[in-house]
Amino acid sequence: MHFDIMVGSVLGASEYVAEAILVSIIDAGHTGECHFEPCVSALNKDNILLICTSTHGAGDLPDNIVAYAKALQHKDLNGFNAMIIGLGDSSYDTYCGAAMTMETLLVEKGVTLLSDPLHIDVLHHPIPEDIAVEWFVEQLDKVIGN
């Protein structure tokens, strides 16, 4: 199985998470690619789409994933499968707002979510890669059936 990891990042934490997830994918015998400048031309129905995004400002998407999200609004994504990892700070009322925005968008466009999204509170998990990898490996076992 191939995973396309679309990364939304401001300060780099979600990039570290995406790279750690990619190592887990490869360790499990699958393939994947991190897209740090996500583009809809990378969409492939045969691959699993994994959105890994932090939240910026008042619950906003990071600048590097805004154009991707806008382009998705014009796509029919029926038949696509996805997973979502969001990073946020629970001291804000917009906690993981970007991940929730992407979830709503993907579901509205017909994507099947293979698991409940993971929302990582960076206040309680200062090294978000650890909890993300633990969650991902567990989900991978369920989704792929390793």
| CATH number of the structural domain spanning residue 9 | 3.40.50.360
Domain for residue 134, yes or no?
A: yes
The band of 145, judged by pLDDT with boundaries at 50, 70 and 90, is: low
Q: Is residue 69 part of a domain?
A: yes
pTM for this one? 0.95
Within a domain: 145:
no
In the chain, the number of structural domains is 1
Q: In this model, does residue 142 exceed pLDDT 90?
A: no
**Do you know the residue count of the chain?**
146
Q: What confidence category does residue 39 fall into, taking pLDDT thresholds of 50, 70 and 90?
A: very high
At residue 144, the pLDDT reads 74
Is there a domain that residue 81 lies in?
Answer: yes
Q: pLDDT over 70 for what percent of the chain?
A: 99
In whole angstroms, give the CA distance from residue 54 to residue 44.
23
Q: What angle do CA 119, 135, 111 make, to 5 degrees?
A: 65
pLDDT over 90 (residue 36) = yes
Nearest residue to 119 via CA among 27, 17, 30: 17
User: Amino acid identity, residue 68?
Assistant: Y
Domain for residue 146, yes or no? no
Of the chain, the percentage scoring pLDDT greater than 90 comes to 87
Q: Residue 106 falls within a domain, yes or no?
A: yes
Query: What is the domain extent for residue 114?
Result: 2-140
User: Does the residue 63 lie in any domain?
Assistant: yes
pLDDT band at 146 (very low <50, low <70, confident <90, very high): very low
Residue 9 has pLDDT above 60, yes or no: yes
User: What is the mean pLDDT of the segment spanning 55-81?
Assistant: 94
At 58, the pLDDT band (50, 70, 90 cuts) reads confident
Residue 11 to residue 15: CA distance in whole angstroms:
9
Q: What is the mean pLDDT of residues 56-83?
A: 95
Q: Mean of the per-residue pLDDT values for the chain?
A: 94
